[in-house]
Structure 1
Amino acid sequence: MALRPAARAAHQWNSVTSAFARRYCVSQPSCFTSAAASPVLSALRSHPSPHPARSFSTTPRTAAKVDNSSLTHQDIIPPQQGLPQRKRTIQIGHLPGGRVSDGQIRSIFGTRVSGHDGNSVLRILHHRRTSGSLADYGVDNLGDKYNVSRDQAIKALDWLRNKFPLDEARAAEAWAEKEANRIAYEMWLADPENDSKYKDPARVYREQQKKEAAEREQEAEQQERSQYGILRTGKSQFEISIQEKRRQRLEEITKKAEAKEAKAVEEEKMLATGEWVRTPGGTQLMKPGQDTYVDVFGREQVSRRKEEMERAQKAAQTSFKDEDEMLAQTTLTQRLYPMTAFVLVVCLVSFGFAHYYEPPAPAYRLWPDLSPTTATIASIVLANTLLCIAWRWTPFWPIMTRYFMHVPGYPRAVQAVGNVFSHVQYEHLFGNMMMLALVGPVAHDLVDRGVFLGTYVSAGAVGTLVSLYWANLGKGSITAHSVGASAAIWGISALYCLLTDQETIKIPFIRDMEVGFYPKMLLAAFVVWEVAMARRKGPSTMDHASHFGGMAVGVGVAGYLHATGFHQRRAASVEGGEAKTVDVAGIVKGEAGEVKDAVVNAVKKA
């Protein structure tokens, strides 16, 4: 919030007090004369606040509850012309920091003032500061029972300003407005039938409407009686229309004013509870700890991102307090059977898709400028990227945790496939997609799209199912959250290593350098590495059970293809035989070039 200097406080209050006096005391010079000037004006001039303004966290309407004692103070209302002088009893709250020690009281008031009386005086002065009445009452009229001189009261006021800084100018503005409304209302009570500006606005408006309605009826009757040929007397239709529009506009202004006043009253009630504070700009209310921002229209808005995040997080979390409570909600059969049946259906559908898939004609392809291999890999990468971005939008958290994250203690069947395309951390997504970009193209070119996608999806689903069984029947964690495409990537990696006849691999970024490539030995090394990592003691963030499940699917698909004559069909379909060298860098570079050309062509067409 923008802080206003204390030097402006006295000047601002002077202008507010002058405006107040010009409006309500034109014929009452006794209200604000130089002889009866407010004592605090001199205090504000001679003792400026050492702090420019209160900090945003200060809430002058709340006070620390130290004890249950209450303090009442009688303020004498300055007499107005034609109004009786009366006293008003006000409840004084506690100081924000609680009761001041007796030693501090002696340092402020001296030894002649007791600790109880000193605290009472401090409370009265602080109440006048927060309510804005300090501008009227100053440091005087503290009560005869307190043996406090004016100098001591000024010293106490300085101590309060140092200890509890706040914006006294803003409080004085609010006090002046309330006093103006009170005086106007009392003057209207004294003479409610006058036509002065102090008359009740609502009553004036209602009476004005009645008078105008009567005039309209009278004019209508007169027009009906006073017609001579085509000439008519009274107001014209244009004047009547203008008058009606003016009436509608006044009604709209009145409704807006009433709504604004009701809102102000409601805000005052909310501020009085201590649970709300004003925003730095003072345009709205917010709870302590909330943030504000300025929108594109320059309006101050309260940020509710923290509340929305907490609400989404609460909706995304399960209601279980511990592992035992989670397991008590379902039986072992209820946890294992639904996902087992679902994964079986997924495997059957994947087998049918791999067996009967035929490449579509170019006219029916979504991306005809890309090769089938590049289109397939790009689609999988795009789906994983979009789901990773969805994790960053808090309203999506309940859906993401329900369908795209596997929890063995409280599983849902669809999680077997949903978590395969889901990544929470960007680094996890980057690692898996980089591995897919290296292995996926060569595996796709080897077995075509049908077998590739069938193996990818079924390997991920079976890997999730193996992780579920390992957590419920083995030594896995029942409360672990599993996401990622690792099981699917291990499945296509095992499939490629068992079916390829390539013998060498070209080293990326090094010209004309090739090394021996033994796919089956590489797969065996992967299995040994996974076993070693799984047997390592200590916590691990890798779901090794799902990796083994994905590898098992890849091995099974490779064995089925080998038994059904895959190599013979492959040799017959590839002219001149399959290349013996794997150029991973060349494949990735070619895919990137295809994607770039497709984007350029799409932009040109658009």
Structure 2
Amino acid sequence: MSLLRPTCASLARRLCVVQPRVERASRSPILALIERHRSPRPQCRAFASTPRYRAKVIDPPQNPSIPPSPKRTVRIGRLPQGPVSDATIHSVFGRKLSPTEGNNVLRILHHRRTAGSLADYGVDNLGKPYAHVSRDTALKGLAWLREKYPIDEARAAEEWAEREANRIAYELWLADPETESKYKDPARAFREQLEKEEKERIQQEADDQKMGILHVGKSQFERNIEEKRKERLQEVTRAAEEKEKRERDMEAKLATGEWVRTPTGTQLMKPGETTYIDIFGREQVSRFKEEMAKYSKASHATDAQTLEGLLTRTTLAQRLYPMTAFVLVTVLLCYGFGHYYLPPSPSYRLFPDLSPTTATILGLVAANTVIALAWRIMPLWPFLSAWFTHVPAYPRAVQSILNVFSHQQFEHFLANMWMLGIVGPAACDLVGRGVFMGTYLSAGAVGTLVSLYWANLGRGSITSHSLGASAAIWGIAALYCLLTDQERLYLPFPKDAEVSYWPKTLFAVFVLIEVWSAIKKKQTNMDHASHFGGIFVGVCTAGYLRAQGWHEKKWGTMETGVQARAGTDANKMDVGAMVKEEIKEVKDALTKGGK
């Protein structure tokens, strides 16, 4: 008909085209895509033939089907933090599901969230073993998962839809290979192109030899160009294959449910991890928590898992005697240093423009600052934990001195250095550098020893670790309050305000507060035993100096100390003037050192 008249062509098209059957829209967009690909192709109606030109009519199949594909096995991994407790299962689902069934339902729902199939399947059809699980019950589990493990479900759904579309297109291509498929990756295309070019080159050389051409093949320049092009294509192919391998590995990890994509989607991370952008603008997964757990585990004194296992490593005598002997030797050395110390001449000093008091306090603050900053470096944690902390269950003798200079928390460090900056200069001016340093070190060592005995023989915690300069500062504070004659305190705010205070009474009040805190507040993290040890050393040193006629011998440096250089009265304590004088000394020393 179309050959007889042009208008018959349109009629033939209308007769040959079968109108598609209108069906109810599927609830899922993926199912709608599958139904669209599976709809029957347009078929032509058979024309009635005359007896003269009778031909056999073959009816095409009405519903061509996609070749059956092997059943895919879906591996559902565990939840990111392992199985959920029975109490949590009952709080989420009530008594409708057993703990085992509740955990399996949560695993299936979390797998659908991470794989993206939740947008396609929803919370229904959880499997034959869970046909009794209602939709409302499954929605409760989904709500709990979204609150506990938040992920980007929209992005996962988009990737699921893309994978399903590629799978359907690939199956259709298997049914009809002549059609063009988008599943053809660039690596395979480059490889086929290289193989085709190599076959053409071999065939061309064979044809040239048969024809007797003198110049067989291409020139050296052309071969070099082809070699470079081949290397470039191989590099592109290798990069494409590596990218495909990474994508397959990421898909396999995502299918387990233990991993989620980072915000940019370039990497994988576990739920709860964080990301950051490096200096090159690339997204990186933060390993801070993993590194902290690693070095925290390496910082343990031993590998014992229980208290009984830890105590079996050493006896009571092995824990007490070494540190006791070391502290006794330390106290004797501090006594000799305080008794026989003589100030060096300015020519032998490192900073001759600084007063001995300022140099001593700055040296102590600098030592404590270095150790406090070292605690910020995680690879140093095992070393610092072994030598700069005191653990009564596994002590080392030298820890009695080294832990006095160690602070892990900045709040603890700032509080101790603030007290050292207030009491330290006044006490050092009062008794001199020798007695001050001897009291400071011996108070810290004796405080650690008292804490060791209290933990092993008393009611202290034998597994807790202690550190800090509190015991040493208590020792010099007791020494100052029991020896000073100052009874007036100058306040910088309000201006030129002075108040009366009694050092011995103030010291007694502080001691009573410490005793009350140790008795009433049993859950505090303060090492009260070491504080009492430091107080004991300060009281003993003050009593010894008074018994030796300290006021007549004038062992201190009140006449040449920081307070005297600041112009304050001997009976008045001026903290602001001391601080200003110390800052002035440091500036002068730096200025002269720079010149």
TM-score by length of 1: 0.61
Equivalents in 1 of 2:483, 2:236: separation in Å? Answer: 81
Classify 1:368/1:184 alpha carbon distance in 2 versus 1 (closer, same or farther; 3 Å): farther
Equivalence for 1:269: 252
Q: Secondary structure at the match of 2:69?
A: strand
Identity fraction in percent = 48
Contact between 2:358 and 2:425, CA under 8 Å: does it hold in 1?
A: yes
For residue 252 of structure 1, report the CA deviation from its aligned partner: 2.7
Flag the 1:593–1:272 CA change in 2: closer, same or farther, 3 A.
same
Aligned mate of 1:257, from 220, 235, 240: 240
Letter in 2 for 1:505: R
> Structure 1: any 5+ residue segments left out of the alignment?
1-32, 49-74, 97-122, 135-158, 191-195, 219-225, 228-232
SS in 2 for 1:507: strand
Matches of 1:415 and 1:212, distance apart in 2: 80
Aligned residue for 1:441? 425
Task: Show the 5 A alignment for 1:463-478.
Answer: 463-478=447-462
Q: Distance in 2 between matches of 1:493 and 1:450?
A: 16
Gap change, CA 1:168 and 1:598, over 3 Å in 2? same
Alignment match, 1:204: 192
Aligned mates of 2:22, 2:158 — CA distance in 1: 14
What is the CA distance between 1:437 and its match in structure 2? 1.3
For residues 176 and 375 of structure 1, the distance between their equivalents in structure 2, rounded to whole angstroms, comes to: 76
1:431 to 389, 395, 415: 415
Kindly tell me the number of residue pairs found equivalent between the two proteins.
472
What is the rounded CA distance, in whole Å, between the counterparts of 1:592 and 1:40 in structure 2? 86
Cα distance in structure 2, aligned partners of 1:523 and 1:389 = 32
Q: Secondary structure at the match of 2:459?
A: coil
Q: Which amino acid aligns with 1:441?
A: P
Unpaired stretches in structure 2, ≥5 consecutive residues? 1-16, 42-63, 78-108, 121-138, 147-152, 207-213, 565-569
- Decide whether the 8 Å contact of 1:490 with 1:551 is kept in 2: yes
Question: Letter of the aligned partner of 2:290 in structure 1?
Answer: E
C-alpha RMSD over aligned residues: 5.4
Q: Write the distance in 1 (CA, Å) between the matches of 2:357 and 2:261.
A: 59
Whether the aligned pair in 2 keeps the contact of 1:422 and 1:484 (CA below 8 Å) is yes
Confirm or deny: 8 A CA contact 2:432 2:557 kept in the other structure. no
Q: Is the 8 A contact 2:75 2:255 kept in 1?
A: no
Task: Give the corresponding residue for 2:282.
Answer: 299
- Secondary structure of 2:285 counterpart: strand
Asked if 1:589 corresponds to 2:586, the answer is no
2: distance between equivalents of 1:429 and 1:576?
Answer: 30
**Are 1:432 and 1:485, in contact at CA under 8 Å, matched by a contact in 2?**
yes
CA–CA distance in structure 1, aligned partners of residues 241 and 495 of structure 2: 81
Q: Does 1:88 align with 2:79?
A: no
Q: Deviations over 1:272-318 (max 9, x none)?
A: 22222223332222223333344444433323333333434444456
Cα deviation, residue 554, structure 1? 2.9
CA distance in 2, matches of 1:262, 1:325: 48
The CA deviation at 1:349 is: 4.8
Aligned-partner Cα distance in 1 for 2:218–2:70: 58
- 1:170 is aligned to 159
Shift of 1:208: 6.7
Paired AA for residue 460 in structure 1: G
- How far the C-alpha of 1:266 sits from its partner, in A, is 1.7
SS in 1 for 2:246: helix
| Equivalent residue, structure 2, for 1:453 | 437
Match of 1:16 in 2: none
Mapping of 1:23-422 within 5 angstroms?
A: 86-91=67-72, 168-178=157-167, 200-201=188-189, 203-204=191-192, 207=195, 235=219, 242-316=225-299, 323-351=307-335, 354=338, 355=340, 358-359=343-344, 361=346, 365=350, 370-391=354-375, 396-422=380-406
C-alpha distance after superposition, 1:149-189 (max 9, x if no partner): xxxxxxxxxx9xx9997565432322344556677789999
TM-score, normalised relative to structure 2: 0.62
**Separation in 2 of the partners of 1:323 and 1:392?**
28
Aligned AA (1:551)? I
In the TM superposition, what is the alpha-carbon distance from 1:440 to its structure 2 partner?
Answer: 0.3
Per-residue deviation, 1:575: 6.2
1:488 and 1:201 map into 2 onto residues whose CA distance is: 76
Residues 75 and 256 of structure 2 are in contact (CA less than 8 Å); yes or no, is this contact kept in structure 1?
no
- Aligned mates of 1:478, 1:168 — CA distance in 2: 54
Instruction: Confirm or deny that 1:488 pairs with 2:472.
Output: yes
How far has the Cα of 1:570 moved from its partner?
A: 3.0
Asked if the contact 1:185–1:200 (Cα under 8 Å) also holds between the matched residues in 2, the reply is: no
Q: Distance in 1 between matches of 2:329 and 2:468?
A: 21
Aligned partner of residue 468 in structure 1, secondary structure: helix
Task: Tell me whether 382-391 or 284-293 shows the greater mean CA deviation.
Answer: 382-391
2: CA distance, partners of 1:234 / 1:529: 99
Structure 1 residues 342 and 484: alpha-carbon distance in aligned structure 2, compared to 1, 3 A threshold: same
Q: How many angstroms apart in 2 are the aligned matches of 1:35 and 1:398?
A: 78
Counterpart-to-counterpart distance in 2, 1:283 and 1:559: 71
CA 1:379–1:242 in 2, change beyond 3 Å: closer, same or farther? farther
Cα–Cα, structure 1 residues 572 and 257, in superposed 2: closer, same or farther, change >3 Å? Answer: closer
